[in-house]
Amino acid sequence: MEDRGFEPNIVAYNTILDCLCKNGLLKEALDVFSEVKVKGPRPDIFTYTCLIHGMCNLGRQDGATRLLNEMVDNNISLNIVTYYILIDALCKEETISKAVEIVDTMRKQGIEPDVVTYSTLVDAHCKEGMVSEAEDFVDAMIKLGIEPDVVTHTALINGHCLQNEMDKARRVFNLMIEKGCAPDIVTYNTMINGYCKGKRLDEAMELFHEISRKGPILDIFIYNTLMQGMFQLGRASAACELFRKMLASGLVPDRVTCLILLDGLCKTGHIEEASNLFQAMQNSGLELDIVPYNILIDGLCKAGHIEVAKELFHQLSDNGLKPSVCTYRVMINGLCKTGLPDEAYRLFGIMGDDDCLADSYSYNVMIWGFLRNNYTSKATQLLTEMVSKGFSADIFTATLFIDLIVHSNKSILL
């Protein structure tokens, strides 16, 4: 008997397509799809859904849309999952109008959006600042008998928070509770973050205490947000007290926590505490990158501890790190403010050795330093060099030069 071999059915093809798409091998998946269409069997909804998902994961929403239209043309019955994959991807790519078009197509096919689909549209519109349009979708949901859930409400709250409309955000927050929809930790995080950004720390703390009494388990994000808000208002002691409470609750500080504390302590003038924290970070085995060094070096320079800042700067290479452009800016500015423009200029000159090309801000900082220290000729030469490289003097640099011209009657071409 002749061995005719095994002819794979659509289930076998779908298994292969699913595996290829999940591993990002879209070209290979499309080759298999072409083979299916030539040899048979007929592709089904799972075949197309795999490919649409794979395309969306790689940012090829246009191709995914074409496949969706092909399904409609071939009378392949679609379900809400296939539509949602594309709608979600379009929203994430900030092509909201196309997402709305897909929803309209979906309705024409007799498939009504569910709460997940609506929540995705509400969230996308809110993140783009289109809160009014988001509210229209919420109203449409309710008219269709679809009750907004915690995700829908949280998305709308976030939209108001992003617009600094905290009173409106609070009304949505209260309304969801009245409807029996309990806020989750994301909702509380969103509200507290909004209050902190609006410098309404007391209201943020009220919510914090509310969670502590009856809400979901507090997470590190809430502590980080509140500590940052406290530091921004100059409440360093309150931020440190909250940090101690966080430790007592059993939460382990993450990198963000440490950077918030370090930056906050430096900016509020608590340099000794910041230095101790930095040392603790080093001793903890936490792998430090250039960011915490930049924060502490900046704090030391602004506090007038230029020698300690220089020592920390020179420790970078010992720890396997290279200064960034930001590190050089901070050190150059600190040296200039301390009356060491020549030393600052030497640093400025070796930036390229660390693959740090001087940018507009670096030039302006160096020029400010020369002018502060009455190095008028060098400042003018550096200004000419900066302009020749396509950079511009900022308002402060220009003002210093104008002031120099007015008081010395010198003619300097800006």
Of residues 1 and 193, the one with the higher pLDDT is 193
Q: Looking at the predicted structure, is the pLDDT value of residue 1 above 60? A: no
pLDDT at 405: 66
Instruction: Name which of 67, 81, 77 is nearest 30 in CA terms.
Output: 67
Task: Please compute the mean of the pLDDT values over residues 363-388 and round it to a whole number.
Answer: 89
Tell me where in the chain the CATH 1.25.40.10 domain(s) lie.
1-104, 322-414
Rounded-to-integer distance, Cα 392 and Cα 60, Å: 39
Q: Which CATH architecture has domain 322-414?
A: Alpha Horseshoe (1.25)
Instruction: Name which of 151, 157, 125, 119 is nearest 138 in CA terms.
Output: 119
pLDDT at 313: 94
Could you tell me how far CA 189 lies from the centroid of its own chain?
15
Within 10 angstroms of residue 69's Cβ, the number of other Cβ atoms is 11
Rounded-to-integer distance, Cα 31 and Cα 292, Å: 49
Task: Please compute the mean of the pLDDT values over residues 369-388 and round it to a whole number.
Answer: 89
Task: Tell me the CATH class for 1-104.
Answer: mainly alpha
Of residues 268 and 403, the one with the higher pLDDT is 268
The answer to whether the predicted template modeling score (pTM) of the entire model surpasses 0.85 is no
pLDDT at 227: 97
Give the angle subtended at the CA of 169 by the CAs of 135 and 246, to the nearest 5°.
135
Q: Looking at the predicted structure, is the pLDDT value of residue 351 above 70? A: yes
Rounded-to-integer distance, Cα 358 and Cα 360, Å: 7
pLDDT at 181: 94
In the DSSP assignment, the letter for residue 132 is: H
Rounded-to-integer distance, Cα 173 and Cα 371, Å: 54
Element (H, E) at 302: helix 290-302
Task: Please compute the mean of the pLDDT values over residues 363-377 and round it to a whole number.
Answer: 88
Q: Looking at the predicted structure, is the pLDDT value of residue 286 above 90? A: no
pLDDT at 408: 61
Q: What is the DSSP string of 75-101?
A: TPPP-HHHHHHHHHHHHHTT-HHHHHH
pLDDT at 62: 87
Rounded-to-integer distance, Cα 139 and Cα 119, Å: 12
For residue 358, with 0-12 CB atoms within 10 Å meaning exposed, 13-18 middle and 19 or more buried, which class applies? Answer: buried
Structure confidence by residue, pLDDT tens digits, 219-228: 999 999 999 9
Task: Please compute the mean of the pLDDT values over residues 125-134 and round it to a whole number.
Answer: 95
pLDDT at 397: 81
Q: Who's near 363: CB < 8 A, 6+ residues apart?
A: 382, 385, 386, 389, 391
pLDDT at 413: 41
List of E strands, 38-135: none
Structure confidence by residue, pLDDT tens digits, 17-54: 889 988 889 899 898 888 888 877 888 888 888 888 88
Torsion of CA 334, 339, 342, 345, to 10 degrees: 30
Q: Who's near 203: CB < 8 A, 6+ residues apart?
A: 166, 195
By percentage, how much of the chain surpasses pLDDT 70? 96
pLDDT at 414: 41
Rounded-to-integer distance, Cα 200 and Cα 267, Å: 20
pLDDT at 3: 46
Structure confidence by residue, pLDDT tens digits, 259-279: 999 999 999 999 999 999 999
Cα Rg of the chain (Å, integer): 29
Task: Please compute the mean of the pLDDT values over residues 191-209 and round it to a whole number.
Answer: 96
- Return mean pLDDT, the chain: 89
Within 10 angstroms of residue 142's Cβ, the number of other Cβ atoms is 12
For the chain, count helices (H), then strands (E): 23, 0
Rounded-to-integer distance, Cα 372 and Cα 23, Å: 58
Tokens of 270: 């608590």
Instruction: Name which of 192, 118, 126, 119 is nearest 159 in CA terms.
Output: 126
In the DSSP assignment, the letter for residue 261 is: H
Tokens of 254: 């993450």
Instruction: Name which of 202, 210, 201, 199 is nearest 187 in CA terms.
Output: 210
Q: Are 117 and 80 in contact (CB under 8 A)?
A: yes
pLDDT at 357: 87
pLDDT at 354: 83
Q: Who's near 169: CB < 8 A, 6+ residues apart?
A: 157, 160, 161, 190, 191, 194
Q: What is the DSSP string of 197-236?
A: HTT-HHHHHHHHHHHHHHSSPP-HHHHHHHHHHHHHTT-H
